[in-house]
Amino acid sequence: MSRIEERFTELRGAGRTGLVTYVTAGDPDLTRSAEIIKRLDQAGADVLEIGVPFSDPLADGPVIQRATERALAAGVTLKDVLAMLETLRPSISAPIVIFSYANPILRMGLQTFVTEARAAGVDGVLTLDMPPEEGETFRTAFDRAGIDTIFLLSPTTTVERIRRASALGSGFLYGISRLGVTGVRDTVDDSARELAQRVKSETRLPLALGFGISRPEHVRSIGQWADAAVVGSALVKVIAEHGRSAGLLDEVERYVRWLRN
């Protein structure tokens, strides 16, 4: 059983909604990024999603795009991200998921990426622009290394694609609660509930729902339908607002504990 499977089994046993946190690696720089990731783990994040900086994001809104720009300006590459995670892994208890577009992985070389990701203690990979229909090669390579393959589902995903993602995927499925790009919203869209109901009727894989989650009441709402809520843009915004200030790590921890409580 992988770390991800173990974590979701624990969550289900406790009857608790999981919290998945997303940050862009290298924002504001690699040193602070490593400190942020450790603090997220200490604050009780159940799964750590680590975004790989990429120059041409398709699904990211302005907050995460700016974080990616800061990381790229600092010269951060996928190889740097994996090296950082390898250093961090012994001190991190939460499962680690790489959140990337396909291009950085293919540029590094799939097998090289898999080898280095395994050495870094990566537990899962979500390739945002890799649909289940094209995911067999990635999944086979990840599976051989004991790395979970996580697929993205949207409110318009067909039943056939949900079944395919479930058959190929492992660890959990990531559902986006609404169409469009990432970003903070005041409420959770009704489409989140509808997607969760459709997914839960087709698979027993855990489901995490994201896009727009920023408040404890959002997490509570998500918990009615899914196994975990994903917070991304709101957390990245906290990092952007406090940047290199001495209080950055405390603000990050305060925000995550507020969401969990």
Model pLDDT for residues 73-100, shown as the tens digit of each residue: 999 999 999 999 999 999 999 999 999 9
221-235: pLDDT as tens digits = 999 999 999 999 999
- pLDDT greater at residue 103 or residue 194: 103
Residue 190, both tokens = 């009704």
Non-local (6+) Cβ contacts of 200 within 8 A are 207, 225
Please identify every residue annotated as catalytic: 49, 60
- The answer to whether residue 179 scores a pLDDT higher than 80 is no
CATH number of domain containing 154: 3.20.20.70
pLDDT of residue 182: 45
pLDDT of residue 188: 53
Residue 121 DSSP one-character state: T
Q: At residue 207, what are phi and psi to the nearest 5 degrees?
A: -125, 130
Highest-confidence segment of 55-69, 108-122, 217-231: 108-122
Max Cα-Cα span within the chain: 49
Nearest in space to 80 (alpha carbons), one of 56, 116, 122: 116
Q: In which residue are the tokens 């489409």 written?
A: 191
114-157: pLDDT as tens digits = 999 999 999 999 999 998 989 999 999 999 999 999 999 988 88
Nearest in space to 181 (alpha carbons), one of 26, 20, 66, 63: 63
pLDDT of residue 185: 47
pTM strictly above 0.85 = yes
d(CA 134, CA 136): 6
Give all strands (DSSP E) within 17-85, no chain letters: 18-24, 47-51
146-167: pLDDT as tens digits = 999 999 998 888 999 999 999 9
Domain total of the chain: 1
How many H-runs (helices) and E-runs (strands) does the chain carry? 12, 9
- 10 Å CB burial of residue 53 (0-12, 13-18, 19+) is buried
Q: In which residue are the tokens 């009780």 written?
A: 44
Identify the domain containing residue 130 by its residue range. Answer: 3-260
pLDDT of residue 190: 67
Q: In which residue are the tokens 């459709």 written?
A: 198
Nearest in space to 25 (alpha carbons), one of 51, 57, 63, 54: 51
